[in-house]
Structure formats: structure tokens, C-alpha cells
Structure 1
Amino acid sequence: MVRQGWLSPVRLPQGAGYALTPKCVRRLDEAALRIYRSGTLSWHGRWHVIIVEPVRDRTRRERLRADLTFLGYAALAETTWIGPRSSIELDNLLDGEGIRADRFDAALEGDPRELVARAWDLGAIGEAYEQWHAEAVTLVSTLPEGAPDHQVFATRSRLVHGWRNFLFRDPGLPPELLPVGWPGEKARAYFEQEAARLLPAAAAFVDRELQ
């Protein structure tokens, strides 16, 4: 994590330790906004378009693809990416990879739903939400009434861990671009409800262990 720029070594009174880097803080802030999405981000009807320079090295190219996908972008062509909004992490990503890119705030001449259908596989994402919701209901329902704090903490951690995987799949498209009855909304409502309900006991366990 130090080599990747997420942590930096520091000297603490107790000995050697680590501190979050600005890169890590930005990632945590953006990830938290997308994981605990209490509301839908507004969309002004325009797209953020990135045209990156060709990357010859395969490993570097795949890393760039994975990182841009995580930030909510989709590839229209090998060097052209779109997203419903810009990411606060984009500058850091491109600078870290040493990649030059031209960026545009663009309006689409055409049907935005057709563009979305080409850029993202909403069918597969929707199925993943349905599967997660079914598994999450099973997970939470097996937690007995009055379960000890450590068990609540474990269950909530598994709930959050499964949900956060959608950061790598769901770009967070605005409701007007999603199908009617989008399963991601049902899954989101369930996650927010159960994550909030389990939080007090889970936090009590963490506080007690840290003390």
C-alpha cells in the first residue's frame, strides 16, 4: 500500500506507523459517497468525455481501464471514455500513470438511453443487484434477535463488503437513464436500512475493542 501511494510511513509515540496519503483520503471520500448514497446525485444532462493517449504497455493499459471503470467511466472506443459526471480522482489517476488526456463537457445529439445501452451492460448489472439483494436478505435474516455485538459487526461487515463491489460495476447513472423498476434502487434501499440498523451495535464492538 505504501508502494501504491495509499499510505506513508510515520513515526508514532508507540513506534512505526502509517498515515493516509491525500490520494487515499480522496479515494475513501469518493467511495464513501458512492457506498452510502443516501440520495441520487443530480445530472445536468451532459457527459464527461475523456480521450486518452494510446497506451502501448498491456499491463498499464489494463490498469487504466480498471481504474477508469471504478471511477464510473465506460469505454466507447479504446481511447474514448464517458461518464455521467467528472470524478474528483481523475487528475490523480492520470498524473499517477503519466497519461495525457483531453477532456470535454459534452451534450449528446441523440438518445442518451441508446448511448447508455452501448456503454454499459445494464442487464448484467441489474441481475447482480437482484442476486445481491437475495443474498443480503438471507444473511441478515440469519442474525438472531439480540445477537452479541461482535456477531452484528461481522454481519454488517459482510453486508458492506458485498455492496461495495458495485463500485466496480455500477457507474451511478441518473434515474432518468435507468430502466423502470431498476433493481439497484430496491437493493440500495435495503442496504441503507440494514446498514443503519446494525451500525450502533457494530460501532459499539469496534469502540470496545479499540479501548
Structure 2
Amino acid sequence: MRARSALFDVYGGHLRERGGAATIAALVRLLEPLDFAAPAVRTAVSRTVRQGWLTPVRLPDGPGYAMTPRAERRLDEAAARIYRTRPSTWDGRWHVVVPQELPAREARERLSSSLQLLGYGALGPVTWIAPRPSPELADVLAAEGVTASTFHGEHEGDPAELAARAWDLAELGRDYARFVAEWEPAVSAVDGSSAAEAFATSQRFLHAWRKFLFRDPGLPRELLPEDWPGAAAAEFFDRHTARLAPAARKFVDDCLGTH
């Protein structure tokens, strides 16, 4: 885990529901159990500010940083997929994105990574699909200076076969099963008696789970293989996240000086 990723997880998982701002001193305290020293936290904050995700603010306890509207949209979108709070219904249509002109290689790679994070899968170099439109799509395209045609369309064929073309579901299913096997002993060993340990474990657990956002678009159940391992992995993640949540919240409140 890098300090910048840990910072995003803390803002999205804890600070978003507490006003979306914290002092630099509180951020240093929050990231200390994750083995980040103060200079690394300050560097990560500065980089995140330059990238437009955080903005300096003056808080009652001193200088701090608040989420920008762009960060709020990104973290809300991620939270909806992490905790699967969207409606599960699907009308059979795909949201299709067709860039009119591809950017240079470096920008193209950034665009590809960003579209994957938003839940889009590639059918080719210039065609992306998702089961639902992302509210962040316009921001992502504008950031790379890309103009694209977007529309909803229904596939004339088996939609499950189309999904299997856009996403490697077999490999994704194996990785979900591996996630449970690897994390079961580590997360089960933490009982919540230490608030700092519970917080650190829950953040590392979340970070590992969040990586699936780049690969799993949240397809409707009818498009997934039988006995989809992602369902068992999601139940496993939810169960242990809820179990560690009270102790993790206590640690956050202590670091922020709020109860």
C-alpha cells in the first residue's frame, strides 16, 4: 500500500461521513498504524492536492485538507461499488463509449486505466462498454482531452458472451477465491480489542478488496457464471468489515478528537 492510496481509503471510508476534512496532524495519526511516517503522509497530501483531489482549508484545530467535489464524486462512486449499494436491476442495455480519436500512448494508458476503474470493459481499441453509465465519465474524458460518442445499446446476441469478451471473468473468479483464502487467517486473527490494530487491518483489507474495482464492473447476476466466487468473497468482505468497524471507528474518532 502506498501512502496516497491509504490517504484515499481513509477519506473515502471514514472522513467522507465526517465532513470530508481533517488536519494534517490528524492524517499523520491516522496513517501511523499503517507504517507511514509523517514526511510520507505530507508528501502524499501535497501530491494529492496538486492532482486536484484535496484542497487546503483552515479548520478549528489548525491547517487541514478537504475533499474537492471531484474527489467526492470519485469516492462516492467507488463506495457504491465496494459496498454494492446500487440497484441490481439491469434493463439489458449497455452504456457504450466510442472515442473519436485516441490520444498519445501515455494518455491512452491513463484513459484505459481510468475507464476500467469506472467499470468499463474494452471490446476493442476504440469501443468500451459498461452495464451502467458512470457519473465520472465526462471528467475522465475531459482530463485526457478526449471527445467520445456515448449511447445506450442492446447487444444482438447473448449478453453473457459479450460480457465474457469485455472482462476475463474466469480469471477474476479465481482471484476472488484466492482473496478469501489469503485473507481468512489474517483478518480472523484480529478480534478488535486493539482499536489501532483493528483500524490498520480493516484498511489493509479494504485496500486489497478495492483492487477489484479495476477489474469487476459489477455485472448483473444473470451475466455471471454459475456459482460466482465473487458473491462469496463479497459476503466475506462485508462480514469482517462490519465486525472490525466499531473498533476502527473508535480509533478514527480518537485521532480526530471527536466522539
TM-score by length of structure 2 reads 0.76
What CA RMSD, in Å, does the superposition of the two structures yield over aligned residues?
1.7
Matched, 1:52 2:84: no
Farther-moved stretch of structure 1 (60-69 vs 3-12) = 3-12
Matched, 1:65 2:112: yes
Displacement after TM superposition at 1:204 (Å) = 0.9
Contact kept? 2:97, 2:128, Cα under 8 Å = yes
| C-alpha distance after superposition, 1:136-164 (max 9, x if no partner) | 21112222x46322111122112111111
1:199 pairs with one of 225, 241, 245: 245
Contact kept? 1:76, 1:82, Cα under 8 Å = yes
Amino acid at match of 2:201: T
Paired-residue identity, %: 53
Displacement after TM superposition at 1:117 (Å) = 1.4
Any residues of structure 2 matched to 1:33-112 within 5 Å, and which? 33-37=80-84, 41-112=88-159
What is the aligned partner in structure 1 of residue 20 from structure 2? none
- Measure the CA separation in 2 of the matches of 1:40 and 1:19: 29
Amino acid at match of 2:254: R
What is the aligned partner in structure 2 of residue 177 from structure 1? 223
Q: Where does the alignment leave 5 or more consecutive residues of structure 2 unmatched?
A: 1-47
- Measure the CA separation in 2 of the matches of 1:172 and 1:107: 18
Work out the number of aligned pairs and report it.
210
SS in 1 for 2:50: coil
Contact kept? 2:94, 2:132, Cα under 8 Å = yes
**Structure 1 residues 175 and 95 mapped into 2: Cα distance closer, same or farther (>3 Å)?**
same
SS in 2 for 1:103: strand
| C-alpha distance after superposition, 1:168-202 (max 9, x if no partner) | 11111110000010000000011111111110111
- Measure the CA separation in 1 of the matches of 2:116 and 2:124: 13
Amino acid at match of 1:88: P
Amino acid at match of 2:159: P
Amino acid at match of 2:199: F
Amino acid at match of 1:119: A
What is the aligned partner in structure 1 of residue 210 from structure 2? 164
Amino acid at match of 1:193: R
SS in 1 for 2:108: helix
What is the aligned partner in structure 2 of residue 9 from structure 1? 56
Q: Where does the alignment leave 5 or more consecutive residues of structure 1 unmatched?
A: none
